[in-house]
Amino acid sequence: MKVRPAPAVAAAVVDRGKVLMVRRRHPPNADMLALPGGRVEPGETLFEAAVRELREETGVDAEAQRVLTAIDQIQCDEAGRLLSHFVIVVVECRWTGGRAMAGDDASDARWLDAVQLSEDAELCASARQIALELLTVAEFR
């Protein structure tokens, strides 16, 4: 079967100097901390998908604000064969309500500050970079 790139979103939410992260139950990045997110459903906008995935995985309600970046998440087997390719669009969201609790595809949900983001070994690299950049920008708003 030929692997094709699949559209996905990640919701980047900052509140009181912390970024919301989830521990993923499924690949890519299974058992790692990452931004909440998942696949874009047919007919769904990027903003709608980000808000839906955030609510499903954390119970947090938010308003999508803007696209921050897009990243490729490519996984290959030991022989170099392509297993999966997700194009993840990171959407900045503004928290509007709800208390973060793990749900759906997440086994944990937590707010991390800059020190925790810098030091936590269980945080996937792309989420760490995006979250730290987001906190830096949020300081100047």
pLDDT, tens digit, 9 for 90 and up, residues 95-141: 999 998 877 777 888 999 999 999 999 999 999 999 999 998 766 55
Residue 25 has pLDDT above 90, yes or no: no
The stretches of the chain forming alpha helices (DSSP H) are 46-58, 114-119, 125-139
The pLDDT of residue 7 is above 90:
yes
Total H helices, total E strands in the chain: 3, 7
Q: What is the pLDDT of residues 56-101, one digit of tens each?
A: 999 999 999 999 999 999 999 999 999 999 999 999 999 999 998 8
Find out whether 26 and 105 touch, Cβ atoms under 8 Å. Answer: yes
Q: Is the pLDDT confidence value at 10 over 90? A: yes
**Residue 31: what pLDDT?**
87
Set out the domains of the chain in order of their start, with CATH numbers. Answer: 6-136 (3.90.79.10)
pTM: 0.90
pLDDT at 140: 58
